[in-house]
Chains A and B, each alone.
Chain A
Amino acid sequence: MKDIFRGELVRITNEEPDVVAKASVRWQLDSEYGRLLDSESIHLFSEKAIKNWIEKNSESIKPERYQFSVRTLAEDKLIGFFGLYVELIHSEAWVGIGIGERDFWSKGYGTDMMNVCLRYAFLELGVQRVSLGLHEYNPRALRSYEKAGFKLEGRTRKDVLREGKRTDTFWMGILRDEWMAQNGAAL
């Protein structure tokens, strides 16, 4: 069986809370990063608050939540994260993914991370579909997710208001059969 924690450029890890908190408190200062990631108004949290939140969420193993940190294979640098929230009854996983280190944007790391993520979701968690939402103003992510096999399923119109401008949220999904067909050779 292939190593499910490794991609071409990155590997996924579980880090100590203070390691993740230290990186996160720095990443959040880049407001573009925050605004690409979330729809809710962005905010700045203390390292302590972030650490507490991480610890609280890792207290017990929950079958619906999987949170990973991402490190580069080349320099073992912590560059981002992804999380999977599984709707257990309907076997659907929602992805949240981000690269906090700006230097690693637009270099294929995002696509590689998503490939690792989908592999984990379909081959380890065995889900029937993976879903995500992204901002209309994030064309880089749209290209990356399309490459990974996601199909655009619609857009909720004008549901985000930022800088006085209303933008849409795009919604994408990939079904198990679709991913298997695309990645059959890699199994």
Chain B
Amino acid sequence: MFDIQTQLFEGQDIRFGPIDHEKDAEIESKWTHDSDFMRMMEVAPARPLSAALVKKQYEKLEKQMDEDKNLFYFTIRAREDDHLVGRAAVQWIEWANGNGFLRIGIGSAEDRGKGYGTQALQMLLRFAFAELNLFRVSAIVPEYNTAAIALLKKFGFVQEVCRRKSLERDGHRWDLYVFGLLKDEWLYQAEA
């Protein structure tokens, strides 16, 4: 049973938090130098960013959250020592239709394979459905991101669209999948 006492921002091993403009930029800058990570996360060409540029991005994000009110952006931190693990967001929200797009990224290789992604998705879904009252959420994933596809399917997302050969990388054109999950399909998963 979910009621307002259930913590939205606390998971089993991770927590959601706001951006720490001073500390987070250096760490995220390192992640942007990992081309494998960037190519999983972004459709745009992977390019390393300085901490200064990451800070500028943070400012843009906060401005958008403030002005456009169609974005909720969280940092993901490990509960154990509060170190920055990744980021999670509900974006491109269309309030009239009740839609939003989800994005999750676990930044450094050492933090992957620990179930953080699963926990983050669980928390993000609860936030989207039980707090933002969205009717459906979507996610866009390139066909080569098998880990993300598996995670989405685990939560009951349905692959709805195959945008054929929409992404070019390494001399090959890849499909982009759009996944969707309706509120009614959202499985209430008990805290493990």
Residues of A whose CB lies within 8 Å of any CB of B are 39-41, 87, 89-92, 128-129, 131, 151, 153-161, 166, 171, 173, 175
* Distance of B33 from chain A, by nearest CB (Å): 20
Can you list 15 residue pairs at the A/B interface with Cβ under 8 Å?
A89-B43, A89-B45, A128-B168, A129-B165, A151-B164, A156-B136, A156-B138, A156-B160, A157-B136, A158-B182, A159-B94, A161-B96, A166-B135, A171-B163, A173-B166
Q: A156-B138, A157-B180 are in contact. Are A41 and B96 (CB under 8 A)?
A: yes
- Contact indicator A153/B98 (Cβ below 8 Å): no
Given the complex, which residues of B lie within 8 Å of A156, measured CB to CB? 136, 138, 160-161, 178, 180
- Contact indicator B168/A155 (Cβ below 8 Å): no
Given the complex, which residues of A lie within 8 Å of B166, measured CB to CB? 90, 92, 129, 131, 173
User: What 17 new A-B contacts, CB under 8 Å, besides A89-B168, A154-B163, A156-B180?
Assistant: A39-B94, A40-B96, A90-B167, A129-B166, A131-B166, A153-B162, A153-B163, A153-B164, A154-B159, A154-B160, A155-B160, A155-B161, A158-B136, A159-B97, A161-B98, A161-B135, A175-B164
Flag whether B150 is at the interface (Cβ < 8 A).
Answer: no
CA distance A156 to B165 in the complex (A): 18
- Contact indicator A154/B162 (Cβ below 8 Å): yes
CA distance A26 to B164 in the complex (A): 37
* Nearest-neighbor residue (CB-CB) of A152 within chain B: B161
Interface size class, chain B: 20 to 34
* Nearest-neighbor residue (CB-CB) of A174 within chain B: B164
CA distance A129 to B135 in the complex (A): 31
Q: Which of B43, B45, B97, B178 contacts A161 (CB 8 A)?
A: B97
Flag whether B44 is at the interface (Cβ < 8 A).
Answer: yes
B9-40 at interface with A (beta carbon < 8 Å): none
- Contact indicator A175/B165 (Cβ below 8 Å): yes
* Distance of B65 from chain A, by nearest CB (Å): 19
Total cross-chain contacts (CB, 8 A): 71
Q: A89-B45, A90-B168 are in contact. Are A131 and B98 (CB under 8 A)?
A: no
- Contact indicator A39/B161 (Cβ below 8 Å): no
- Decide if the interface of chain B is mainly helix, strand, loop or mixed: strand
CA distance A91 to B165 in the complex (A): 10
Given the complex, which residues of B lie within 8 Å of A40, measured CB to CB? 94, 96
Given the complex, which residues of B lie within 8 Å of A159, measured CB to CB? 94, 97, 99, 136, 138, 180
Q: Which of B135, B161, B168, B182 contacts A153 (CB 8 A)?
A: B161
B152-192 Cβ-contact flags toward A at 8 Å (1 or 0)? 00000011111111111000010000101010000000000
Given the complex, which residues of A lie within 8 Å of B135, measured CB to CB? 158, 161, 166
* Distance of A176 from chain B, by nearest CB (Å): 9
- Contact indicator A157/B160 (Cβ below 8 Å): yes
* Nearest-neighbor residue (CB-CB) of B174 within chain A: A90
Given the complex, which residues of A lie within 8 Å of B173, measured CB to CB? 128
CA distance A100 to B135 in the complex (A): 31
Which of A40, A153, A160, A175 counts the most B-chain CB atoms under 10 A from its CB?
A: A153
Q: A39-B97, A159-B97 are in contact. Are A129 and B164 (CB under 8 A)?
A: yes
Given the complex, which residues of A lie within 8 Å of B164, measured CB to CB? 129, 151, 153, 173, 175
